[in-house]
Amino acid sequence: MGRLLCVWALVSYGLGILFVEPLNAIRLGGFPLGFWFAHQGSIYVFIILIWTYARLADRLAERYGVD
């Protein structure tokens, strides 16, 4: 869970706020990459994080027989 939270913090705070200026030099779909991460990319990453957490929690439940 700690690793997932670190990814969440890096994407939401780091890529969306701190590193937005260097990322804006790259364009994705006609928009600066920093803008894209702040508005679209972070949502995709969050969905992947939720899916990953659910899979890991299911494996843990199966291991301890509480599924």
Helix (H, G, I), strand (E, B) or coil at 1: coil
What is each CA distance from 4 to 18, 25, 33, 56, 61, in whole angstroms?
19, 28, 22, 11, 18
CB-based burial label for 7 (10 Å; 0-12, 13-18, 19+)? middle
Tokens 């790259």 belong to: 26
**pLDDT one digit per residue (tens) for the chain, 67 residues:** 899 999 988 888 888 788 888 988 998 788 888 888 787 888 999 999 999 999 999 999 999 998 7
Residue 31 pLDDT? 84
DSSP assigned state of 64: T
Q: What is the pLDDT of residue 53?
A: 97
